[in-house]
Chain A
Amino acid sequence: MINYSKFVLDNGLRVVVNEDNSTPLVVVNVLYDVGARDEDPDKTGFAHLFEHLMFGGSIHIPDYDSPLQIAGGENNAYTTNDITNYYCQLPAENIETAFWLESDRMLSLAFSRESLDVQKKVVSEEFKENYINQPYGDVWSLLREMTFKVHPYKWMTIGKDLSHIEKAKLKDVKDFFFKHYTPSNAILSVAGNVTTEQVKALAYKWFADIPAGPKYERHLPQEPDQTEKHFLEVKRKVPVDAFYKAWHGVAWNTPEYYSMDLLTDILGSGKSSRLFQSLVKEKKLFSNIDCYHLGSVDAGLVVIEGKLAKGVSFEDAEAGVDMELEKVKEEKLTEKDLEKLKNRVESALAFEDTSLKSRAADLAFFELRGDAGMINTVKDKYFAVTAEDIRAIGRKIFREENASVLWYRSEDASGLASEAELETENERHD
């Protein structure tokens, strides 16, 4: 059991505390209820760009990082399609430094033009590093466009297009801040060597005078049911053919979410999983294969992806995948299968709870979704899943009219330039 307590400030900031006196550290985590799904379709990538700008100085503090480092701390942040999360970890004695820094940037950023200009370039390099200059780097951009026609999950967190980031203006930054970065759209969670009383005092001192701001009401276009199978074939300079098949799944707040999670686990997690055993080991159709879901708050995707074994056609690979899916739709899992899934859930949750950072982030996420206490009850939700539930969710998701298939074909088998060619291109710069 993870102990926790929570309270709310008058301006709407929700605060959750996990006391753990076995560590010399404390993690201060601030989650903002905004992600790439809240972006304007013409300004994609903005939530993530904004995350970078949160380190470019706040209204009273020109530099976020240095004071934290002087306190012996470190920090980072991440943006997903659903949320933006910031954390700092520091020696427990110096916890107030984190409150000072986080409250000042919730109060207001410095909105420096210079920081915007530089971070636009940095994010462009991040885009290139991960999505352009990488083999298979554009897969997610293709898959999202294929599967989502209206829901903003149709673009990646980094953005749909580099030009969106390049066009960002200081006014966009300000508007975004005052719309989303308000106390009522945030959760503050603290885990580590602190007491709730201490956190209460610090939260009132540093956060209570921040104006509540407007509460952001989310009205996202919901994706209509897909009625026919989508198909796309692309040719790229990659060395190996890759196969992707994606289906619309269920949303986080549905009871079926846990069945979906276990379904993807039995199919695709580990070397004893069904897809690996059947399609890599026995039939030798793939050299590797995975099945997972995106874990998103609105209904996201269930994906099966794999690299084709040498000489295997896309048609045979897909038929092999479909045959395994027929099995989970027809035959119920055995007691032993279920036992395995539950052992795996129990273990994964226990390992997750060993980390202070993940405890703080989980408490904030669950509180945002309605109740931090879910950190302790989520296991029961998994344990309540039956073999029939898993078969039912398989039947619901794995329908051809709900599927999108991407054949990512290798167009040059040779791959690299030859070594001899490399030598001639060896430039001298001394």
Chain B
Amino acid sequence: MIDRLMPPGLKSPLDFSLRLPAFEIATLKNGVQVYQVNGGAEDVIKIDWVFEAGNVFENKNGVAAATRELINSGTSNKSAYDISNQFEYYGAYYSTAGFSENAVITVNSLTKHIGDLLSVVREILTDAAFPEDEVALYKQNRIQRLKVYLKKSEFLADRLVNEALFGADHPYGRKVEIEDIEKIDRESLIAFYKSYFQGGNCRIFVSGKFTEKVVSLLNEFFGDLKFTSKKKITPAALHPMKEKVLHRVVNREGVQGAIRLARTFPVLTDPDYKPALVLNTLLGGYFGSRLMSNIREEKGYTYGIYSYIQHYPDVGVWQVATEAGRDVAEAAIEESFKEMKVLCETKVQDDELKLVKNYMLGKRLASLDGPFKVMERIKGLVLNDVDQSFFEETVEVIKGVTADQLQELAVKYLQRKSFYNVLVI
């Protein structure tokens, strides 16, 4: 008979060798850098074109997102349909994503078809036309989408907490309203496109299974374009709200409240950042966290509760987020602050700290599985302007951080009075 009470032996995740795999950088004729991670069994490829074209650069609300989303809506030779069909015919996926600083255009494809797709991406980047009827249709649809989002308490809570943290006039705190979308016109899109895509700063990230031919194709299609070097952004001044407790009832019949507890936090390069990742995991960063164990698994107030550390170039945010039953939302907030207080007052026990460390190291091992995931890591480092040693340093901090250090950090950052307390029903 086997002894089912005895857990099997383990290789401790502390003993894993966690090193970021090697990657290559090629430079196109025009100086554009192409980061590459090659590997995997399937003949698939992913290419990201990253532009400094995020919403911090817009001078009219909503223009950065509209430019990015309409960039493929027609050129002087191709209609929006021709462009979509070119990707979809080959089974490829074209998508875009927007962040505060950056805008990303991504193509996922079978490697054998990528040559047929790069010419279209070139056309998008050099000759986007922003046809009037496409702009009008986009505005109508985006307004409809926004109207639906405005019905969601979690969306309203996110907007409110960002406004509270940064100020209504700050790029991270600004709200895009229906009137803003109505005001978007073709001219402002073209102007944004010319400054930030066509003549902007571009970096390329290629991952998957491919040969050197892909780099020569990238040179052929993008090596002659006149991109510019990285801009220096002056961070906007923060205008945080004075009032910390922001509780709102928007939907009288709402059965749940969206809760956001948030404070600003130092940037990625601050010495507190790496150990705070461990403290955050302990608090609300994984399924077994203090918040989950108490508020979901013990009290059943919510389907899920998590905490995060987010980072912008000039500031970070530490946030707890959940949706809880309307009648227990207040209690969920109190319990969240109580868990923070416990971390300030009581040192974490060895067993729990070991579990959190192992979990985090296992996560990092999994994040290096396959070329796409490795590239996500590398892209994160490159776009945040940190050295690749950042990954290994973080691993060392996770392995070495002590209960005393975590308690000090909790006392420094997890004070109730520093947090905005947002509840939207």
Contacts and interface: CB of A to CB of B under 8 A. Distances in A.
Contacts of B89: 272, 336, 339-340, 343
13 contacts: A22-B370, A60-B4, A71-B358, A91-B13, A118-B298, A121-B300, A287-B141, A340-B85, A340-B88, A347-B109, A350-B42, A353-B42, A426-B246
Contact of B148 (A61, A120, A240, A343): A240
Contacts of A209: 1-2
Given A104-B4, A310-B140, A426-B248, A122 B358 contact: no
A69 B358 contact: yes
B157 interface: no
A122 B151 contact: no
B13 A239 contact: no
Given A270-B84, A309-B140, A426 B40 contact: no
A72 B358 contact: yes
A154 B340 CA distance: 44
Given A122-B296, A425-B248, A206 B150 contact: no
A99 to B, nearest CB: 8
Interface in B209-257: 244-250, 254-256
A428 B90 CA distance: 57
A65 B91 contact: no
Interface stretch (B198-206, B261-269, B342-350, B361-369): B361-369
Contacts of B244: 430
Interface in A373-430: 415-417, 422, 425-430
A128 interface: yes
Nearest to A284: B137
Interchain residue pairs A-B with the least CB separation, the first 4: A72-B362, A121-B300, A347-B91, A239-B147
B271 interface: no
Contact of B288 (A65, A72, A120, A425): A65
Given A288-B141, A351-B42, A427-B249, 7 more contacts: A69-B288, A123-B303, A124-B325, A270-B84, A343-B90, A348-B91, A430-B245
B303 A91 contact: no
A96 B354 CA distance: 19
Contacts of A129: 256, 303, 323
Contact of B302 (A20, A122, A205): A122
A120 B247 contact: no
Interface in A341-358: 343-348, 350-351, 353-354, 356
Interface of A: 20, 22-25, 59-61, 65-67, 69-74, 89-91, 93-94, 96-97, 99-100, 103-104, 107, 117-126, 128-129, 132-136, 205-206, 209, 237-240, 269-273, 277, 280-281, 284, 287-288, 307, 309-310, 336, 339-340, 343-348, 350-351, 353-354, 356, 415-417, 422, 425-430
B325 A125 contact: yes
Contacts of A126: 303
Contacts of A345: 91
Contacts of B40: 22, 354
B193 interface: no
Contact of A70 (B81, B323, B355, B365): B355
A415 B147 CA distance: 7
B190 to A, nearest CB: 21
Contacts of B32: none
B301 interface: yes
Interface string B135-179: 001001100110110111100000000000000000000000000
B10 A238 contact: no
A277 B88 CA distance: 13
Contacts of A60: 4-5
B16 interface: yes
Contacts of A270: 84, 88
B359 A69 contact: yes
Contacts of B87: 272
Interface residues of B, number: 83
A60 to B, nearest CB: 4
Contacts of A269: 88
A340 B116 CA distance: 14
B16 A72 contact: yes
A132 B255 contact: yes
Given A74-B362, A271-B84, A271-B88, A125 B324 contact: yes
Contacts of B330: 429
A134 to B, nearest CB: 7
Interface string B4-29: 11011111010010000000000000
Given A122-B300, A122-B302, A347-B91, A70 B151 contact: no
Nearest to B288: A65
B236 to A, nearest CB: 23
Contacts of B287: 65, 69, 74
A122 B10 contact: no
B273 interface: no
Contact of A128 (B140, B152, B325): B325
A219 B113 CA distance: 47
Interface string B329-359: 0100000000000000000000000111011
B314 interface: no
A152 B280 CA distance: 43
A93 B91 contact: no
Interface in B293-335: 296-303, 323-325, 330
A97 B372 contact: no
A343 B91 contact: yes
Nearest to A117: B300
Contacts of A271: 80-81, 84, 88
Contact of B299 (A20, A118, A281, A307): A118
B418 to A, nearest CB: 14
Given A272-B85, A277-B81, A416 B250 contact: yes
Contacts of A205: 2
A120 B303 CA distance: 10
Contacts of A128: 255-256, 325
**Candidate in A117, A118, A277, A354 with the most chain B CB atoms within 10 angstroms:** A354
B369 A23 contact: yes
Given A23-B369, A94-B11, A132-B255, A239 B4 contact: no
A429 to B, nearest CB: 5
B408 to A, nearest CB: 24
A206 B359 contact: no
A135 B39 CA distance: 43
B277 interface: no
B7 A67 contact: yes
Nearest to B258: A133
A415 B151 contact: yes
A74 B363 contact: yes
A135 B148 contact: yes
Given A287-B140, A422-B250, A239 B44 contact: no
Contacts of A70: 10, 354-355, 358-359
Contact of B300 (A59, A125, A280): A125
A133 B255 contact: yes
Nearest to A206: B2
A389 to B, nearest CB: 20
Contacts of B250: 416-417, 422
B366 A89 contact: yes
B92 interface: yes
Contacts of A135: 148, 151-152
A103 B4 CA distance: 9
**Candidate in A119, A120, A427 with the most chain B CB atoms within 10 angstroms:** A427
A91 B109 CA distance: 29
A356 B268 CA distance: 31
